[in-house]
Structure 1
Amino acid sequence: LDADALAYAIRRSCEIKAGIVAEDEREQGRRALLNLGHTFGHALEAIGNYERWLHGEAVAIGMVLAARTSVALGWLSTSDCGRIERLVASAGLPTTAPGIDVDELLDHMRGDKKADRSGLKLILIRSLGNAVVARSPTEDTLRAVLAEQLE
């Protein structure tokens, strides 16, 4: 990776995030989209006792799981999902979490602060650049995606 390009991307990302946070302090609108990968990632962190992965690594895996879930729902193309996976990997971040028990991950996800009585609230991807807040896909869909990616 080009160091100058990376520094610019990080700086610009921070500026964009600061603007979104300032306009949506209570996370009622666009700010929620910044949580892409976090529900999966927080569950992975907990399972790994906050030692197996750094926060960013767990969220990177979570972003890939969100993309895979979006493909399973028919929202995201497999080629766009592959692009996301390649970009995450090219940044030196993990894209899979082998050996994680699906039921344990789902249990931790249900305990996430963004879950409520109506189910999980996941940030998923309709197309590149178009993330959406989605109520939990069916447990069968999640289980199939997770089983393929984790075990």
Structure 2
Amino acid sequence: MSDLKLQLKDAQKQAMRDKNKPRLTCIRTMLSEFKRIEVDERIELDQARGLAVLDKMLKQRRDSISQYEAANRQDLADIEHSEISVIQEFLPTPLTDDEISSLITQAITDSGASSMQDMGKVMGILKPLLQGRADIGKVSGKIKAQLA
């Protein structure tokens, strides 16, 4: 069992002891998503894939927040904000803009990328390094700017 999954199970037990229902619900959602993937694909989730799942959940929450705020439903947006804070506890420390820029520059030189057609090569190098530590969509925009 991965360290991430063990962390989630320990946090679930602590949330039960603390009777913290919103936190417990969010942790259970994360664990159920892990379990769904393990059952569907008949695999044991490793650390990298677990981070990818949490990263995806984070992106879903951010999308929901923008939709709730557009619909003037701040109560639901607040719930999503609290879930984001819980999910972020289990992700590694986010990278700074300077660190991301230096990783992009390094990946471009390593791959020999010179145009937009080489973006896939650069993303292939960066994705494992950035998983759970940066918003891949924003990184993609920065790569496009450097390759343009």
TM-score (norm 1): 0.31
TM-score (norm 2): 0.31
Higher RCO (C-alpha 8 Å, min separation 6): 1
Structure showing the higher strand proportion among its residues: 1
Structure showing the higher helix proportion among its residues: 2
